Amino acid sequence: MKNELKKYFIITYGCQMNEHDSEKLAGMLEGIDYQKAGQVEEADIILLNTCTIRENAELKVFGKVGELKRLKENNPELIIGVGGCMMQSKKAVQQLYEKHPQVDLIFGTHNIHHVPDLIQRIEKERGRIVEVWDEEEGLIPDLPSVRESDFKAWVSIIQGCNNFCTYCIVPYVRGRERSRPLKEIVSEVERLAAEGVKEITLLGQNVNSYGKDLEEKVDFADLLQELDKIPGLQRLRYMTSHPRDFSNKLIEVIKDSRSVCEHFHLPIQSGSNSILKKMNRGYNREKYLELVNKIRQEIPEASITTDIIVGFPGETEEEFQETMELVREARFDSAFTFIYSARTGTPAAKMEDQIPEEVKKDRLNRLMTLQNQISLEKNQEDLGKIVEVLIEGESKNNPETLMGRDRRNKLVIIPRAEGVIGEIVKVKINRVQSFTLYGEVV
């Protein structure tokens, strides 16, 4: 019987929210009797879950859709669906619909719970369907997920974003902030912990806004405090927190908690006050550094990481140097660095003085060189230290070794024989690089 089930294959771009949405899509497809295909060629249905945060992300999607055309030619029964953030743009939908007749289904971020119905309609009637909602209708209902991992899980706590940073497309494609009721989150985490999940990552574009839109009086710190009590759960993480409203209460709760990991991802975006203002970030470099210092004082073992954009419209060499200076001062453990990408519909895309591509690339290179050096120096401080690592799987480049992450989210590599995937081990660090720690289990 099992072999007769039709097969699905999902390709995901973008951030953890998209990864998590893909787990829900998988859950719904299994609910209508599909099973996961080992390879894309075996699939009866292929879904692309897209991202539109930067132009590169979109180019990848168009490239992939083009590639899939060949599969459709070999198998006209194949259903190809494209959903996710990029499909919230009318222009992208139009381009896809007109130039890529191999695409049968287009859906948005607000109606993923309708995908099984839409697929069944296509199976019956064989037509093309475009269903994208402009606006969210409250929370997307709880959906069953097929998780990639037995020991790690994502839990969504707030959807959407109200911040409207001037460069960012997310508020336009994910809608306004909607928090999930505390009780629902607690029971989901309880269930996952009882199933043996060791690490949970709470998801939201801005988790510290949690609760602002709820009737009950709860905030993100209260939520962490509640979840910390759940037995069995060993590690609690969250993505992403905004530096603007990272409260003292939150630092205290994290400090006193058992399970919340000692990792703070605080996207600074720029070290220049004038640029931060144009970005509408709601803090300045002084406030940001104050926050970093407070965290280091309260939780000295914590890692602090960030996101930085270079080449925002109008960014001068001096303003870029302020970012370099901030990076030297803050000494991040690591940073995701991006070249500014103009997104149609955002205020920054209309600003004057868009920076030439070569200048942006040159700034990115200088910034990366600086940060890599700092990351290496930071990691060198770990030599001889013992860290707690959750082993996640085989390491990418060397099947003789396993990789995992310590509580600070640093990547740690150990010899294969010394660990078991899904287990937490203590590792003594004996060699380091900019992005990786190497060690032996003690």
| Site residues for ligand SAH per CB under 6 A | 53-54, 167-168, 170, 205-206, 240, 242, 267, 269, 307, 309, 338, 340-341, 343
Strand partners, 274: none
Least CB distance to ligand F3S at residue 379 (A): 27
CA 67 to chain centre: 25
Given the complex with ligand F3S, which of 65 and 425 has the nearer CB atom? 65
Site for ligand F3S in 196-255 (CB under 6 A): none
Least CB distance to ligand SF4 at residue 145 (A): 22
Least CB distance to ligand F3S at residue 363 (A): 22
Given the complex with ligand F3S, which of 53 and 185 has the nearer CB atom? 53
**Interatomic CA distance for residues 275 and 271, integer angstroms:** 8
Given the complex with ligand F3S, which of 16 and 433 has the nearer CB atom? 16
Kindly report the backbone phi and psi dihedral angles of residue 253, in degrees, each rounded to the nearest multiple of 5, phi listed first: -60, -45
Given the complex with ligand SAH, which of 174 and 405 has the nearer CB atom? 174
Let me know the angle formed at the C-alpha of 411 by 204 and 12, rounded to the nearest 5 degrees: 45
Given the complex with ligand F3S, which of 61 and 432 has the nearer CB atom? 61
Contact, 414 vs 425, CB < 8 A?
Answer: yes
Least CB distance to ligand SAH at residue 283 (A): 12
Least CB distance to ligand F3S at residue 17 (A): 5
**Interatomic CA distance for residues 104 and 80, integer angstroms:** 5
**288: closest CA among 318, 252, 245?**
245
**Interaction between residue 51 and ligand F3S (CB under 6 A):** yes
Given the complex with ligand SAH, which of 8 and 340 has the nearer CB atom? 340
Which tokens in the block code for residue 147? 């998780």
Query: Which residue from 17, 105, 276, 295 is in contact with ligand F3S, where contact means CB under 6 A?
Result: 17
What is the SS3 assignment for 431?
strand
**Interaction between residue 52 and ligand F3S (CB under 6 A):** yes
CA distances from 27 to 45, 138, 174, 195 (A): 14, 21, 21, 17
Least CB distance to ligand F3S at residue 14 (A): 3
Least CB distance to ligand SAH at residue 388 (A): 26
**Interaction between residue 389 and ligand F3S (CB under 6 A):** no
Contacts of 193 (CB under 8 A, 6+ apart): 200, 230, 231, 232, 233
**Interaction between residue 14 and ligand F3S (CB under 6 A):** yes
Site for ligand SF4, rule CB under 6 A: 161, 163-165, 168, 170-171, 205-206, 242
Beta strands in 247-394 (DSSP E): 263-265, 303-310, 334-339, 386-394
**Interatomic CA distance for residues 317 and 205, integer angstroms:** 30
DSSP 188: H
**Interatomic CA distance for residues 122 and 124, integer angstroms:** 5
What is the SS3 assignment for 38?
coil
Part of the chain binding ligand F3S (CB under 6 A), chosen from 9-17, 134-142, 338-346, 390-398: 9-17
Least CB distance to ligand F3S at residue 168 (A): 9
Kindly report the backbone phi and psi dihedral angles of residue 332, in degrees, each rounded to the nearest multiple of 5, phi listed first: -65, 150
CA distances from 303 to 152, 185, 194, 372 (A): 20, 26, 29, 15
Strand partners, 218: none
DSSP 335: E
**Interatomic CA distance for residues 254 and 224, integer angstroms:** 8
Question: Of ligand F3S, ligand SF4, ligand SAH, none, which one does residue 164 interact with (CB within 5 to 8 Å by kind)?
Answer: ligand SF4
Site for ligand F3S in 78-97 (CB under 6 A): 85
**Interaction between residue 53 and ligand F3S (CB under 6 A):** yes
Least CB distance to ligand F3S at residue 15 (A): 3
Given the complex with ligand SAH, which of 160 and 439 has the nearer CB atom? 160
Given the complex with ligand F3S, which of 52 and 208 has the nearer CB atom? 52
**304: closest CA among 223, 391, 246?**
246
Part of the chain binding ligand F3S (CB under 6 A), chosen from 30-38, 169-177, 220-228, 340-348: 169-177
Q: How many residues lie near ligand F3S (CB under 6 A)?
A: 11
Least CB distance to ligand SF4 at residue 69 (A): 33
DSSP 40: G
**Interatomic CA distance for residues 372 and 334, integer angstroms:** 8
Question: Of ligand F3S, ligand SF4, ligand SAH, none, which one does residue 171 interact with (CB within 5 to 8 Å by kind)?
Answer: ligand SF4
Site residues for ligand F3S per CB under 6 A = 14-15, 17-18, 51-53, 85, 170, 173-174
